[in-house]
Amino acid sequence: MNEKTIIKATELAKYYTIREGMLIKRSLTLKALDGASFNIKPGKTFSVVGESGCGKSTLARLITMIERPTAGDFEVGGINAVTGTSQEMKALRKKVQIVFQDPYGSLNPRKKIGSILEEPLKINTDLNREERREQSLAIMGKVGLSPEQYRRYPHMFSGGQRQRIAVARALMLNPDLVVADEPVSALDVSVQAQALNLLMDLQEEMNLAYLFISHDLSVVRLISDEIMVMYLGRPVEQGKKEVIFENPLHPYTMALLAATPHVDKKARKKRILLKGEIPSPLDPPPGCTFHLRCNYMTNLCRENQPRLRVVGERQVACHHAEKFC
């Protein structure tokens, strides 16, 4: 078995500076992502879950090298992707590809599927026209599209088929990692399972690693090996899927699981309802950022921010995690 690590991220952070105020301008720092550390190995799926605005897509933009982190760093196949030379970065960008949520907006409506798929080959390889065509037809076959569809335009496809095209495009350069940012959220529920099965089949066939982003724990449960639950930009619980679904230790994870149908009864037994709104990331509460919504909050929680620490087989950022073991 290949044990090399595709992604090794260490304390990744992304802060945005926001300017506010009409007359008196002031600058505020928005910590969109803070302290994300994880490894992803070939053939494995690392999933990131959490409510809207918790920093999932920010992480995707860092790992795909669309944006640079404010702090921390990460390696792709052992090469530092923050301090790498421009030549190294160019090579790394081929190894990491992305599939977006919206199968309508992410494909150029004026281009035929063949030319959409061949564009990355034109830019990044010396393949001639015939070789490019062969390669795109081969990938189309892998994702379940037929050769006749090569000359069709995106509007001639259903949502599920368009997402197959987006997946095919991501695979054209034979990447090591695919970042999938809510890849099935825009699809009808009836098509979601097919799309997930396709991703899992491709993973097995090509030994792909996935950074899979979703707000839906029932989807994450199907596809993941490891998960990272995020709240207001910070990881709050992280570990093997089975461990976390079986016995979540962070009250936020418990609340997400309790609200998700079709998860283990044991996890759902800790019935916790999520109360209140997510606080503004521009003015997060002191101490544990979840304390205003947490049923187990104590004075310690109000004052001290819990660090991510190892409890049993997972990492969790809660002062009172041992209570829930």
Ligand X SMILES: Nc1ncnc2c1ncn2[C@@H]1O[C@H](COP(=O)(O)OP(=O)(O)OP(=O)(O)O)[C@@H](O)[C@H]1O
By CB under 6 A, name the binding residues for ligand X: 16, 18, 30, 32, 52-58, 215, 281
Among candidates 16, 19, 13, 32, which has minimal Cα distance to 284? 32
Please, what is the minimum distance in Å from the beta carbon of residue 225 to ligand X? Answer: 21
Q: For 168, how many CA atoms within 13 A lie in the half-sphere containing its CB?
A: 29
Identity of the residue, 29 or 158, whose beta carbon is nearer to ligand X in the bound complex = 29
Measured CA to CA, the distance from residue 141 to residue 133 in angstroms comes to: 12
Rg (CA), the chain: 21
| Residues 266-305 as x/- pattern, contact with ligand SF4 by CB under 6 A | ----------------------x-xx--x-xx---x----
Please, what is the minimum distance in Å from the beta carbon of residue 94 to Mg ion? Answer: 24
The interface partner of residue 55, options being ligand X, ligand SF4, Mg ion, none and the CB cut-off 5 to 8 Å by kind, is ligand X
Measured CA to CA, the distance from residue 124 to residue 97 in angstroms comes to: 13
Measured CA to CA, the distance from residue 109 to residue 121 in angstroms comes to: 19
Angle at which helices 113-124 and 159-171 cross, to 10°? 20
Residue partners of 130: CB distance under 8 A and separation at least 6: none
Q: How many DSSP H helices and E strands does the chain contain?
A: 11, 12
Measured CA to CA, the distance from residue 95 to residue 56 in angstroms comes to: 20
Residue partners of 200: CB distance under 8 A and separation at least 6: 222, 223
Site residues (CB under 6 A) for ligand SF4, limited to 123-182: none
Which structure tokens are listed for 1?
């078995």
Identity of the residue, 182 or 237, whose beta carbon is nearer to ligand SF4 in the bound complex = 237
Do 165 and 116 meet the contact criterion of CB atoms below 8 Å apart? yes
Please, what is the minimum distance in Å from the beta carbon of residue 318 to ligand SF4? Answer: 3
Residue partners of 157: CB distance under 8 A and separation at least 6: 149, 165
Please, what is the minimum distance in Å from the beta carbon of residue 236 to ligand X? Answer: 13
The interface partner of residue 52, options being ligand SF4, Mg ion, ligand X, none and the CB cut-off 5 to 8 Å by kind, is ligand X
Identity of the residue, 57 or 289, whose beta carbon is nearer to Mg ion in the bound complex = 57
The interface partner of residue 288, options being ligand SF4, ligand X, Mg ion, none and the CB cut-off 5 to 8 Å by kind, is ligand SF4
Identity of the residue, 11 or 303, whose beta carbon is nearer to ligand X in the bound complex = 11
Among 166, 263, 306, 311, binds ligand SF4 (CB under 6 A): 306
Among candidates 208, 227, 207, which has minimal Cα distance to 218? 227
The interface partner of residue 74, options being ligand SF4, ligand X, Mg ion, none and the CB cut-off 5 to 8 Å by kind, is none
Identity of the residue, 34 or 226, whose beta carbon is nearer to ligand X in the bound complex = 34
| Region from 4-12, 57-65, 137-145, 314-322 binding ligand SF4, contact rule CB under 6 A | 314-322
Among 154, 251, 281, 284, binds ligand SF4 (CB under 6 A): 251
For 308, which DSSP code? P
Q: Is 57 in the site for Mg ion (CB under 5 A)?
A: yes
Query: Tokens 């283990």 map to which residue?
Result: 264
What residue ranges bind ligand SF4 (CB under 6 A)?
A: 250-251, 288, 290-291, 294, 296-297, 301, 306, 318-320
What residue ranges bind Mg ion (CB under 5 A)?
A: 56-57
